[in-house]
Amino acid sequence: MGSFEEIVIRTDRIDFPALAVGSGPIVVCWHGFPDHPESFGPLAERLVGAGRRVVAPFLRGHHPSTLDQLAFGDGLTLAADAAAVHAALSDEPLDVIGHDIGAGVAGRLAAVWPERVRRVVTMSVPPPAALRTIFEDPAQQQRFFYVFMFQIPGLAEGLLNATLIDYLWRTWSPGLSVPSYVQELYADPAVRANALKLYRANFDRSLHDPALSSLASVSEKPASLPMLVLAGADDGCITPDKYADAATGLAPGSRVEIVAGAGHFLQLDRPDEVAALALDWFR
Specify the 3-state DSSP secondary structure of 228: strand
pLDDT for residue 225: 96
* Dihedral Cα 178, 180, 181, 185, nearest 10 deg: 90
Which segment of 83-87, 127-131, 219-223, 245-249 scores lowest on mean pLDDT? 127-131
* Number of compact structural domains in the chain: 1
Q: What is the Cα–Cα distance from 151 to 70, expressed in whole angstroms?
A: 17
Q: Choose the weakest-confidence range: 47-61, 227-241, 243-257.
A: 243-257
pLDDT in tens, 122-164: 999 999 888 878 888 999 999 999 999 999 999 999 999 999 9
We report the CATH number of the domain holding residue 237 as 3.40.50.1820
Task: Provide, rounded to the nearest whole percent, the portion of the chain with pLDDT above 90.
Answer: 93
Mean pLDDT of the chain: 96
In DSSP terms, 39 is beta-bridged to none
Domain extent at residue 163: 5-282
Q: Which residues contact 105 (CB under 8 A, 6 or more apart)?
A: 30, 59, 75, 78, 79, 81, 82, 98
* Stretch among 9-23, 34-48, 95-109, 121-135 having the lowest mean pLDDT: 121-135
pLDDT score at 42: 98
70-109 pLDDT, tens digit each: 999 999 999 999 999 999 999 999 999 999 999 999 999 9
CA dist., res. 41 & res. 38, Å (int): 5
pLDDT of residue 1 exceeding 70: no
Burial of 180 (0-12, 13-18, 19+ CB in 10 A): exposed
